[in-house]
Amino acid sequence: MTVKSIILVMVYLQTYPANGQKICERPMSVEWHTQPEQHIVKWTLMNNICSNFYTECWNINTNNERNMLEQKALNVPQICPLQLQLGDSLFISSEETFELHRINLGYVSLEEFIRCPTKGFLQEQLIFGSRLRGTHQVDLQWLKAGTHYFAEIQTKGPLLCNLGLRLNVTVKQQFCQQSSNAPFCSRHGRCLSNIWEEAYNCRCSQQYLGRFCQEFDACSSKPCRNNAACIDTREGLIGDSYKCVCHSQFAGKNCSEIIGQCQPHVCLNGNCSNVTPNTFLCKCNKDFTGKTFILFPMMFSVSTVYSYYITNNLQYVLFN
């Protein structure tokens, strides 16, 4: 495989000087790609070394919430950190000038990453089993989900790890499918990961919610009126799967009906008109009289009614 055939995603791409240092530029959020990609990192001290993990390696501000060990680990010279998704390939390409120093790449712990390995490293820690020359592919056994630390291990010559020949690689998996054959985020969102997140998760489009965006958010259109609270009943993609919690003076599915005011068909055979904010009047049609009118349970209970009376075919209903 030639370098030309590899899809190069160089770790040091788009670096800019800032106060004599290099800032590693990259997007704050990345979308999961459906096909594995290949990445190549140049093992060099020339133009891709950053000194402060936050302000230079990631070009973001930070606070002091992280533990002291991590703070120390993130403030050592290192090659711009790399984030891969599970299944991606990683290639390391060394400079010819390093070959005489018998450089090898070791899989190290966080503590070894901080202090740089010198003596006592194990053969099984060696990534390639021989000195680094040309371009080598990192076996997938070293690229499982999680954060991994790689550092230069040298048998002779200067200890270049202290100058920045160490690499922090985070490999992320995705949790955007309900099953292996299901569409990502139910086709109602995007599978994304921010810089500090450990995995890819769904960011749902408007009107959808749930871990996989599998639920239609019936409350997104704000169907409840008069400052009522809306509760989505999580019934899949049903558009009216919501419940409105009405204030005491309102009723109906959308809390649009005012208790004590005229509503459609409240007067059985007549016309309704509002008298006061909590009183309405039924004027009976010709040939109709009596006490008959409709009380809707959704509107008010019988205990709400204070009194009613009939005068010249006019039925009055008064409320507390």
What is the tens place of the pLDDT at every residue in 207-228?
888 899 988 888 888 889 888 9
Q: Which architecture, in CATH terms, is 184-216?
A: Ribbon (2.10)
Other CB atoms within a 10 A radius of the CB of residue 175 amount to 13
Domain with CATH 2.10.25 in the chain: 184-216
Residue span(s) of the chain under CATH 2.60.40.420 come to: 22-172
- Whole-number pLDDT of residue 84: 95
Query: Average pLDDT in the 88-109 region?
Result: 78
- The pLDDT assigned to 47 comes to 73
Closest CA to 260 of 250, 269, 246, 268: 250
For the chain, give the DSSP string. --GGGS----TTTTEEEETTEEEE---SEEEPPSS--EEEEEE-SSS-EES-IIIIIS-----S-S-HHHHHHTTS-EEEEEEEETT-EEEEEE-GGGGGGTEEEEEE-HHHHHH---S---GGGBSSSS---SEEEEPGGG--SEEEEEEEEESSS--GGGGT-EEEEEEEEE---SSTTSPGGGGSEEEEEETT-SEEEEEEPTTEESTTS-EE-TTTT----TT-EEEE---TT-TT-EEEE--TTEESTTS-EETTS--TT-STTEEEEEEETTEEEEEEPTT--SS-----TTT--GGGEEEEEEETTEEEEEE-
Q: Which position has the higher pLDDT, 155 or 197?
A: 197
Query: What was the pLDDT predicted at 211?
Result: 93
- Topology of domain 22-172, per CATH? Immunoglobulin-like (2.60.40)
Q: How confident is the model at residue 31 (pLDDT cuts 50, 70, 90)?
A: very high
For residue 143, the model assigns a pLDDT of 94
Give the separation between CA 283 and CA 294, rounded to whole angstroms: 13
Which of the residue ranges 21-30, 67-76, 99-108, 149-158 would you say has the lowest mean pLDDT? 67-76
**Which of 42-51, 137-146, 245-254, 281-290 bottoms out in mean pLDDT, i.e. has the lowest?**
281-290
Q: What does the pLDDT read at residue 101?
A: 59
Q: What pLDDT score does 251 carry?
A: 84
Is residue 13 pLDDT above 70, yes or no? no
Sort strands 21-24 and 229-232 into parallel, antiparallel or unpaired.
unpaired
| pLDDT tens digits, one per residue of 270-294 | 888 877 666 777 878 877 776 444 4
